[in-house]
């Protein structure tokens, strides 16, 4: 059996099967269990290497041909697949607890399959089309049946669609740049086209106006899944571009532009988060700021760039899943999720409120939480390259901290006579507890990620030189 069949075709087929034949409860358990199995298989069974099980020899071939295109997953992709499906399992197990529709798991599996195909397809420019197909599946995930899509969903799919022609056309032009690198005009044009495409994909300021609208219109859990999945694969896609084209990673102007975009994202996301009166929008703007940190990592002119990117990506999946799950539980009590509606809920939903605050502080970069090691690494690199950028990053982080303090103040603001109660179910308490424990473990013992941080950068051999 080939690797693309295991990690692309099987998840997609499982998603189609569950969409029509399984109810919500079984979908959550089956989808989460399948992702755990895919993750463990990718971590322990090497691709394109014979594995002896007694007298039985097992070998997973790396490539398969489909409609004239090659899909290839090598042994270097194993740790990445393990991380992707491991984090996806967290989202799928939380589906039933969050009260999300059963379509979440089935559509989520198909989305992950398309996104995984985007890192396996050759020629790799076809990844842009696969990212678009995944984005189109997000629409029914965010919008209930027989309901008109909101403005946030419409803007999201428009921006994702606009990104495709820019990236595909720039890829065609990059071929000409490789053939004649001295042609300055073609180089500038391809760089501009590529920048426009990734500006739409990354939702760079001011193109992220759909994020707060989406958090207000859709389920926090479904929207959080989107904010985790697509940016993760977009970053990997961008790393592939930088790794393949020498002039992209060696041109100082491009690195400075990426770094400046990251600073704008962090600062604007932090300031807007501090001014919000809707907790869902605070999550959206915090996710925008964290996307800015990914851009900062991409703009660092350092051999540790790829390591820092994955040091952000891995905890990011846990932070967003814990925060989105807790918000989904709270939303049942306070539907609009305005600050005035959640006042005093710490006495009714103490576990969910604690999960929201810990995930929020982790994304701020609070010490002893999962987001702190990556923030510290970026600070160290920025101190060597641009002290001005480091100061502006502090402004953005301060805005995120103000938003966290405002959230805490509103949650604990209650009448003195009101008693403390635990209204979460034991399943909700268990899942949120495991998530909060994970935030502490990744913050206090970041070395647990060392096996992944050692092997994942090998996917981009030119960037680590």
Confidence of residue 87 (pLDDT cuts 50, 70, 90): very high
Single out the residue of 280, 453, 425, 439 nearest to residue 367, CA to CA: 439
Token code pair at residue 146? 């027989």
Confidence of residue 252 (pLDDT cuts 50, 70, 90): confident
The radius of gyration of the chain from alpha carbons, rounded to an integer in Å, stands at 22
167-203 tens-digit pLDDT = 888 777 776 655 555 555 666 777 788 888 888 888 8
Task: Say whether pTM exceeds 0.85.
Answer: yes
Reply yes or no on whether the pLDDT at 267 is more than 90: yes
CA angle 282, 334, 410 (to 5 degrees): 55
Token code pair at residue 248? 């992209």
pLDDT over 70 percentage in the chain: 92
Check: CB of residue 28 under 8 Å from CB of residue 120.
no
381-437 tens-digit pLDDT = 888 888 888 889 999 999 999 999 999 998 888 776 667 788 888 888 899 999 999
Contact partners, residue 173, CB within 8 Å, separation at least 6: 186, 189, 190, 193
Q: What is the pLDDT of residue 179?
A: 55
Cα(346)–Cα(408) distance, rounded to whole angstroms? 9
Reply yes or no on whether the pLDDT at 363 is more than 70: yes
Q: What is the pLDDT of residue 456?
A: 84
Q: What is the pLDDT of residue 284?
A: 92
- How confident is the model over 43-56, as a mean pLDDT? 74
Reply yes or no on whether the pLDDT at 112 is more than 90: yes
Cα(105)–Cα(18) distance, rounded to whole angstroms? 8
Single out the residue of 359, 374, 211 nearest to residue 305, CA to CA: 374
Angle, to 10 degrees, between the axis of helix 387-412 and the axis of helix 279-299? Answer: 160
4-48 tens-digit pLDDT = 888 999 999 999 888 877 666 678 888 899 999 999 988 888 887
| Averaged confidence pLDDT in the chain | 85
Reply yes or no on whether the pLDDT at 140 is more than 70: yes
Check: CB of residue 157 under 8 Å from CB of residue 150.
no
Question: What would the 3-class secondary structure string for the chain be?
Answer: CEHHHHHHHHHHHHHHHHHHHCCHHHHHHHHHHHHHHHHHHHHHCCCCCCEEECCEEECCECEEEECCEEEECCHHHHHHHHHHHHHHHHHHHCHHHHCCCCHHHHHHHHHHHHHHHHHHEECHHHHHHHHHHHHHHHHHHHCCCCCCCCHHHHHHHHHHHHHHHHHHHHHHHHHHHHHCCCCHHHHHHHHHHHHHHHHHHHCCCCCCCHHHHHHHHCCHHHHHHHHHHHHHHHHHHHHHHHHHCHHHHHCHHHHHHHHHHHHHHHHHHHHHHHHCCEHHHHHHHHHHHHHHHHHHHHHCCCCCHHHHHHHHHHHHHHHHHHHHHHHHHHHCCCCCCECCCCCCHHHCCHHHHHHHHHHHHHHHCCCCCCCHHHHHHHHHHHHHHCHHHHHHHHHHHHHHHHHHHHHHHHHHCCCCCCCCCCCCCHHHHHHHHHHHHHHHHHHHCHHHHHHHHHHHHHHCCCCCC
Give the lowest-confidence range in 152-161, 306-315, 449-458.
449-458
């Amino acid at each position: 059996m080939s690797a693309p069949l295991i990690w692309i075709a099987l998840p997609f087929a499982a998603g189609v099967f569950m969409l029509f034949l399984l109810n919500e409860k079984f979908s959550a358990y089956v989808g989460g269990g399948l992702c755990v199995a895919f993750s463990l298989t990718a971590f322990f069974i090497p691709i394109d290497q014979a594995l002896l099980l007694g007298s039985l020899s097992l070998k997973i071939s790396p490539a398969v041909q489909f409609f004239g295109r090659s899909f290839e997953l090598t042994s270097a992709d194993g740790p990445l697949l393990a991380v992707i499906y491991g984090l996806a399992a967290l989202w799928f197990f939380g589906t039933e607890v969050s009260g999300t529709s059963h379509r979440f798991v089935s559509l989520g599996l198909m989305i992950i399959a398309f996104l995984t195909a985007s890192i396996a397809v050759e020629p790799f420019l076809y990844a842009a089309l696969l990212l678009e197909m995944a984005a189109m599946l997000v629409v029914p995930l965010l919008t209930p049946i027989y309901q008109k899509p909101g403005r946030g969903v419409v803007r999201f799919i428009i921006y994702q669609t606009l990104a495709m022609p820019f990236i595909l056309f720039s890829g065609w032009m990059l071929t000409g740049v490789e053939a004649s690198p001295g042609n300055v005009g073609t180089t500038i044009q391809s760089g501009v086209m590529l920048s426009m495409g990734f500006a739409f994909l990354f939702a760079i300021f001011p193109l992220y106006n759909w994020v707060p609208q989406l958090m207000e219109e859709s389920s926090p859990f479904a929207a959080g899944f989107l904010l985790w999945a697509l940016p993760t694969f977009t970053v990997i896609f961008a790393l592939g571009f930088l790794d393949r084209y020498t002039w992209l990673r060696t041109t100082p102007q491009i690195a400075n532009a990426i770094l400046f975009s990251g600073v704008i994202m962090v600062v604007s996301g932090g300031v807007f988060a501090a001014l919000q009166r809707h907790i869902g929008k605070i999550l959206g703007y915090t996710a925008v700021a964290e996307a800015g940190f990914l851009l900062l990592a991409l703009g660092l002119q350092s051999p540790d760039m790829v390591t820092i990117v994955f040091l952000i990506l891995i905890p990011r999946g846990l932070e967003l899943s814990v925060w989105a799950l807790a918000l989904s539980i709270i939303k049942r009590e306070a539907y609009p999720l305005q600050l005035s509606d959640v006042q005093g809920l710490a006495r009714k939903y103490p576990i969910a409120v604690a999960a929201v605050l810990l995930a929020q502080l982790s994304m701020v970069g609070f010490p002893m939480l999962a987001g702190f090691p990556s923030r510290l690494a970026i600070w160290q690199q920025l101190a060597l390259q641009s002290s001005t950028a480091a100061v502006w990053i502090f402004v953005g982080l301060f805005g995120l901290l103000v938003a966290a303090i405002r959230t805490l103040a509103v949650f604990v603001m209650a009448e003195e006579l009101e008693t403390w109660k635990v209204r979460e179910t034991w399943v909700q308490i268990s899942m949120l507890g495991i998530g909060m424990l994970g935030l502490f473990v990744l913050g206090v013992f970041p070395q647990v990620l060392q096996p992944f941080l050692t092997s994942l950068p090998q996917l981009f051999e030119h960037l680590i030189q």
